[in-house]
Amino acid sequence: MVLGTYKEVVTARSTDKQIQKIAQDGGIVSALFCYALDEKIIDGAVVAGPGEDFWKPQPMVAMSSDEILAAAGTKYTFSPNVWMLKEAVRQYGLEKVGTVAIPCQTMGIRKMQSYPFGVRFLADKIALITGIFCMENFPYESLKTFISEKAGISPELVEKMDIGKGKFILETADDVIKLPLKETHGYEQNGCKVCLDYVAELADVSTGSVGSQDGWSTVFTRTDVGETLFKSAVEAGVIETKPVDEGKFGMEMLKKLSKQKKEKAMKVIDEKKAMGLPIPYKASSEKEDPLANI
């Protein structure tokens, strides 16, 4: 269960050249939302759009493909998308909302759907959750430290940020700066240290770069909603797929990273519990599968 429950896993990418050009990896999130909008499976999607400061995203309700694409690419700091879901339903009047969510955001949405104590007529309007793999997230000031202090460049020069092959990568128009991850270590937000979910185990579809070649993404279909949508997007030709690499840089890598995140988190959870600090998760001794997200 190190990768959660899923129906199928494949390597995939958007067939749209424009999406390929601007996407983080395979452009799966953009392609799925554009397709779901076209097919009226969703009326709009809450995405991490551009904010006032460079690389500081702001949740926004995207109602067109153009708005989806304006939000393409990974941002390595907070975008409280769950917050914007209510606005999407109340202010924008959407009946079928999609959202892109990191694992913890997916957990907030799913808990709300199962136990909507104070959340009225929203749970049934969440039509699609596209989850993205997430090892950790950074406060905005941490990002500024990486860019301005460690890489020594101005944030506005950065065109793309990425994490891969043990490096935090900053791309400018004419340069690629790679910081070893040990340089970014210690700058992540603390809440991530007890997170047991790397691959968005509760999303309808989850995706991320790990496990697939450059320019492609690994995709898990998890729920019936996710499976139906992904299959029809593939049939419609907006996404192309190939079998996932089972080897060292494919599924093995994904399993290894997920296991690492979970094991590290379980250690912190057990330590905190021993100190009597509050933790919503079970201690290792309390659960059958020590890596389960419970």
Q: Which residues of this protein are in contact with another protein, per CB under 8 A?
A: 4-5, 59, 77-78, 80-86, 102, 104-105, 107-124, 137, 139-141, 189-195, 201-202, 222-224, 277-281, 292-294
Sheet holding 160-164, edge to edge: 160-164, 167-171, 176-180
Shortest distance (Å) from residue 16 CB to another protein = 29
Closer to another protein at the Cβ: 174 or 288? 288
By DSSP bridging, strand 205-208 and strand 126-132 are parallel
Residue 245 gets which letter from DSSP? P
Burial of 187 (0-12, 13-18, 19+ CB in 10 A): middle
Closer to another protein at the Cβ: 27 or 57? 57
Cβ 198 vs Cβ 259: under 8 Å: no
Shortest distance (Å) from residue 83 CB to another protein = 3
> φ, ψ for residue 183 (rounded to 5)?
-75, -30
Closer to another protein at the Cβ: 31 or 82? 82
Closer to another protein at the Cβ: 77 or 209? 77
Closer to another protein at the Cβ: 166 or 278? 278
Residue 224: CB atoms within 10 Å: 10
Closer to another protein at the Cβ: 27 or 131? 131
Cβ 229 vs Cβ 36: under 8 Å: yes
Closer to another protein at the Cβ: 30 or 81? 81
Residue 121 gets which letter from DSSP? S
As given in the structure block, the two tokens for residue 206 are 């989850």
Cβ 284 vs Cβ 266: under 8 Å: yes
Shortest distance (Å) from residue 108 CB to another protein = 3
As given in the structure block, the two tokens for residue 192 are 């991530």
Let me know the angle formed at the C-alpha of 247 by 244 and 249, rounded to the nearest 5 degrees: 85
Residue 232: CB atoms within 10 Å: 15
The residue among 84, 34, 75 whose CA lies nearest residue 54 is: 75
Shortest distance (Å) from residue 113 CB to another protein = 7
